[in-house]
Structure 1
Amino acid sequence: MLQLFKESADSDTEDVLSKLGKREVTGSAFSQARYKIEWQFFSDLCAISSEDYDTFTTARWKGYRVFGGDGSTLNLPASKQIRGYFGVQSSSSKTSLARILLVYDVLTGLTLQARLGRMSTGESGLLDDCLLEIPPRPDDLLVLDRNFGNFHMAHKMTCEARPFCIRMSTGISNFAKAVMADSRMDFITEWAPSRSERETAKTSEPIRVRVTKAVLDSGETELLVSSLQDMESFKTEDLVELYGMRWGVEEGIKNLKPKIKVEQFGCRKPQGIYQEFYAHILAMNMVALAGIAATEQIEKKSRSRKKKRKLTYKYNWKNAFLQLRKRIVELFSRESVEKILETLVNKIAQKLVAVKKGRKFSRKGLGKSARTNQYYK
């Protein structure tokens, strides 16, 4: 299962069993046996992969671990059982989609929580479910995009004492329209819920938030609502930088979809979809953990060089995944795990890519992609 079905089930099964010194079985035998494993087993492995995360010394932004939350959709195989469970989003092609959401450390690439569900489940609902498993900490900062820019989410973060920064659409809510009409660019104010927001959030009490407006190069005004009310420690430019870091979770979804091809499923049942989704998240987390160790090597070598490099370098994520996949069976089945890990980290640290700050990608003119034929986002 952890080979992630990049070839056929027969080929992957033969490869794994040969490494384990076991006799070959048919693809049909494997397909029947896999469903004896509950998909929650893979979800639990993901939880184990991140449970010691608090003990790591990882990169921070102004003392905070920065988490990005974002959702996407997955194209699913065409089968009667999958259509019956996930529904059909396109009557002409009978295509089924699933909704996913990641809570992702944008500085380390570790996925703290991931959820997969039907399209009828909203992104906010999936995020609420994820946050139940992430205890609030004063040094954990959650950054969210416009899909979460509502009173309910800001109120929830405030009540749970979770530091946050959320972008809002400028013309949808009365609150957004009111603060956009205010001539101030960075100020603290009270956000009182509207009638519909009072029903959703189940409160009529206002919350105190910071509103930050920034004019982008495109001329568009970016509206940020945050809990970072210390305006001396966090300037306007700091908040703009912080929100820009949210792009890391977009890169995480790109790793999951185009790079390791999560949509290349090897099953035709809903349980298999859940198994493979969480197996891919586990693989991403194993890459992130090995990458943390490789980053220490890279930085140590960089400091020891006589001539300082003009650019900052990081490990090549796709190469790291391929190196992990080569060794994933041994990692779960051999006693000499430390030696295998050492080799893996060394291999990852050898392949680098330059970090080019300030790179931008314009989505203008691309049009709206057909959701049932999408490949990324």
Structure 2
Amino acid sequence: MSCHIEVFRNFAEHLQSDLFRETARHSEYPTAFTRKGGKLPLPSLIAVMVSGMRMSVRAELDQFFAHLRQQAQLVHHVSEQAFAQARAKLSGAAIPKLNDWFIQQVDAAGLVPRWRGLRLVAADASNLRFGLRASHVPRAATTEQNAFALFLPGVEMTLAATLYDVSVGERQMLFEHLEKLSVDDILLLDRGYQARWLVAALNQAGVHFCMRVDRADKGGFNCVRDFIRSGNDEAVVRLGAPNQKDVTDYGCPSTGQEVRLVRIVTSDGAIRVLMTNLLDARAFPCVEFGELYHHRWRIEEAFKRLKHRLSLEHVSGLSQLAVMQDFAAKILCDNLQALACLAAISDEPLPEGRRINHSYAHTVLKRILPVLLLTSSASLILKEALLLITSHTYRHQEGQSKPRKSSHKPHKYMSHKAC
């Protein structure tokens, strides 16, 4: 548990450092956050936002400062207008950079597990409909946007996440995030990413991948269809060359790429085909790829947790900057919860079949985050909170599946806030 608490302590110190303050300012406010003191300095502003804002701004602020003073009665310390003025001086990249720093600390502490020496990274996108009302604010946000994320299944943390216009495709989003990946990562991708140019770009970047490719429609690969008919468990094939337009647009190699196909048969008899650039069958046996690819489902669960339990689509402002800040803050909030859950079970693992309740973990952590991030002596409070988290678990049954229901997605309105 000591290394987990150390990560929390280092995060709190970095939040209050001059280095973070210098990088957190909006370019239009070069002297922001320089004055010492004030009712809402930069560390307090960030702490309010990463505590998971789901209610009205006034309610969140009053509750935050009540938790900071460790009292039950709400405290009206800062107005909504002061919060809005402070956040306008915060760069849209400040919280994502803070998340990058946090993930580096978690990885450096050895908390991210490996699969045969490789770090698992799942990639996916999800559609968001923010609870926005009509307004005339400058640079107003659009209601519907897409979120793309790189996720670490082993620690249940988001490596990086970005908002995009709905016109941007998932492959383009992934291409713009390749710099977040390293040569010791393996990228887990679903069927929406199969493309010859993307395989060439991943090989050029030195990124390992495991991609599901058993599409029966127009977008499928001919070599995959031949492989399914062959009945073989695995095969090394060469894809066709990317078309010249993709080579020009993405700067990928113009030659066909050599890949390995692996057949997976599910418990209900369905055939899945996975494509990978891990060609060494001895170092990476094909029997392990089914379980490897199954880890990709954790990013689906993460989006569900963020949307429904952290109210990802609820925003506290109407501008695009405010929406970006809220989005990034809830990603970081979820990562802090994941670290708390890891810390809770680090000394004494849970009994077989039991899992930490992340919803309850958020309830516990939200009340101590102000003290944890803004004071110097929070170790005892954190340890007591971790004991509460481990006391509330649920039973998980392996092998259960629930088909996804196709239904209309309701719109969240600003007037419908949690209380």
Query: Do they superpose with TM above 0.5?
Result: yes
| Contact 1:86 1:119 (C-alpha < 8 Å) held by counterparts | no
Aligned match of 2:154 in 98, 107, 112? Answer: 107
Q: Tell me the distance in 1 between the aligned counterparts of 2:265 and 2:199.
A: 23
Asked whether the 8 Å contact 1:214–1:221 carries over to 2, the reply is yes
1:59 alignment counterpart: 113
The 3-state SS of whatever aligns with 2:345 is helix
- 3-state SS of the aligned residue for 1:297? coil
Which residue in the other structure is 1:162 paired with?
Answer: 207
Aligned runs of 1:1-377 on 2, under 5 Å? 1-20=49-68, 24-55=77-108, 56-76=110-130, 77-80=132-135, 87=142, 96-134=143-181, 136-138=182-184, 140-172=185-217, 176-182=221-227, 183=230, 184-195=232-243, 198=247, 201=250, 202-217=252-267, 219-299=269-349, 311-363=352-404, 366-367=405-406, 369-370=407-408, 373=411
How far apart, in 2, do the equivalents of 1:298 and 1:354 lie? 17
CA-CA distance at 1:353 after TM superposition:
2.3
Judge conservation of contact 2:139–2:319 (CA < 8 Å) in 1: no
Distance change >3 Å, CA 3–CA 52, structure 1 → 2:
closer
The whole-number CA distance in structure 1 between the counterparts of 2:168 and 2:174 is 10
Residue 286 and residue 121 in structure 1: after superposition, are their counterparts in 2 closer, same or farther (change >3 A)? same
Tell me: CA distance 1:275–1:328, structure 2 relative to 1, closer, same or farther (3 Å).
same
Provide closer, same or farther for how the CA distance between residues 373 and 187 of structure 1 changes in structure 2, counting only shifts above 3 A: farther
Per-residue Cα deviation, 1:86-142 (whole angstroms, up to 9, x for no partner): 55xxxxxxxx211111111111101111111221222222222322133x133x211
Amino acid at match of 2:360: N
Give the counterpart letter for 1:131 in structure 2: L
Q: Which deviates more, 1-10 or 111-120?
A: 1-10
Q: CA deviation at 1:323?
A: 1.1
Which one is further off, 275-284 or 172-181?
Answer: 172-181
Identity of aligned residues (%): 23
Range moving further from structure 2, 338-347 or 143-152: 338-347
Task: Write the distance in 1 (CA, Å) between the matches of 2:298 and 2:178.
Answer: 19
CA RMSD of aligned residues (A): 2.7
Q: 1:245 Cα shift? A: 1.2
Q: Provide the C-alpha distance between the structure 2 equivalents of 1:20 and 1:108, rounded to a whole number of angstroms.
A: 28
Question: TM-score w.r.t. structure 1 length?
Answer: 0.84
Return 5+ residue gaps in structure 2 as ranges.
Answer: 1-48, 70-74, 413-419
Q: What is the SS of the residue equivalent to 1:209?
A: strand
Residues 125-161 of structure 1, C-alpha deviations (whole Å, 9 max, x = no match)? 2222322133x133x2110111111122222221222
After superposition, the Cα gap between the structure-2 partners of 1:82 and 1:285, relative to the gap in structure 1 and judged at 3 Å, is farther
Q: 2:7 corresponds to which residue?
A: none
Structure 2 Cα separation of the partners of residues 39 and 198 of structure 1:
32
Moved more, 319-328 or 350-359: 350-359
**Cα 1:320–1:20, aligned 2, differ >3 Å: closer, same or farther?**
closer
Cα distance in 2 between the residues matched to 1:128 and 1:344: 40
TM-score (norm 2): 0.76
Task: Quickly say closer, same or farther: Cα 1:198–1:20, change in 2 above 3 A.
Answer: closer
Matched residue pairs, number?
353
User: Matches of 2:50 and 2:285 in 1, distance apart?
Assistant: 45
Given the superposition, is the C-alpha separation of residues 337 and 62 from structure 1 closer, same or farther in structure 2, using an over 3 Å criterion? same
Alpha-carbon separation, structure 1, partners of 2:99 and 2:90: 15
What is the CA–CA distance in structure 2 between the aligned matches of 1:2 and 1:57, rounded to whole Å?
Answer: 21
2:46 corresponds in structure 1 to: none
Higher mean alpha-carbon deviation, 316-325 vs 275-284, is at 316-325
Does the Cα contact within 8 Å between 2:214 and 2:224 map onto a contact in 1? no
Change (3 A) 1:224 1:318: same
- Quick check: 1:149–1:166 contact (8 Å CA) kept in 2? yes
Structure 1 segments unaligned to the other structure (5+ residues): 88-95, 303-308
Q: Partner residue of 1:305?
A: none
Would the alpha carbon gap of residues 372 and 273 (structure 1) be closer, same or farther in structure 2, given more than 3 Å must change?
same
Cα deviation code 1:294-330 (max 9, x no counterpart): 221332xx5xxxxxx5x33232111111111111111
For residues 390 and 86 of structure 2, the distance between their equivalents in structure 1, rounded to whole angstroms, comes to 37
| 1:46 alignment partner AA | N
Query: Residues of 2 paired with 1:3 and 1:31: CA distance?
Result: 17
1:253-295 per-position Cα deviation (integer Å, ceiling 9, x unaligned): 1111111111121221211101111110111111122222222
CA–CA separation in structure 2 for the residues paired with 1:254 and 1:120: 22
| Aligned counterparts of 2:280 and 2:402: Cα–Cα separation in 1 | 32
